[in-house]
Structure 1
């Protein structure tokens, strides 16, 4: 897998289920704001609703940070609506749920499992210019944490606003950052 970090999101066009409607989303939709793509294998499964529900629980906080979230699976937008209507956990989702039945978007982000027609659990933070700043990819049985996603977005936004600074491990807003220099070499 080659790194997608600091690459531009490739062109795409998808239908999404969002707040009771079907809407079109493209790479142009992402421009001008921070975005998070949360890939997952399939609707009506097991780990997926726990993750998507966790993201829904943190969605308001992400929105206050100027971030839009898009969940993506190889299901259709119709299936997303049916799942939203059927599951108490998924009913609380108010972010767009993108359908990727051809797998094109999943391939663009290098998370497609070709022999299964499903996406790995991939999370990508995308800056307002459409550039991928973080990538986390997990095997199907390993769930992710939305609280850590929030922390990573905070760090990405801080670094974007403060060139020359870097965020150390477990950094949170208000904590000290580092300014790489010759004086720091071997002193951390």
Structure 2
């Protein structure tokens, strides 16, 4: 794997507005896009702060992508392994809400059926409820409503490991993935936003 990386330090919103997604592919080697984490917002309204974990440049992949319904058939990928949720305020926060979106991109354009890559939470305290439309637009992301099902104490951090999977019928060349998450204060106001890019070498499920 090449060590070539391209610095990306813009939020999901700026990425989509500027259409500056990058898929650095060199010959038969692939490069992982560098961290694209936006700085978490902490408005006066308070609320939990979410950070999408940095995509690690680990030989052989940092995570696995599974075939839906299988625990044995999987493929290597370089994707954020977790969400990190923190209470930076001085008071406990209960019933926190947020959103997670995962969007595929093949080469220089957003993939057709960009919502095929999915994720689930491995932390029972945090639920990811699939809110993707039944018939989504072909370039739409996979969207989840995020629910924290317990009170988070002041200064406490909750780690939410992510597991990725694809449908039983799936085929794609190398593709990058935009993973972005937001949290809300009082269920409405934006409390934080964070994004990372990852890479999945092409495979057929």
The TM-score bracket by the shorter chain reads under 0.3
Higher helix share: 1
TM-score normalised over the length of structure 1: 0.28
Higher strand share: 2
- Greater RCO, CA 8 A, separation 6+: 2
TM-score normalised over the length of structure 2: 0.26
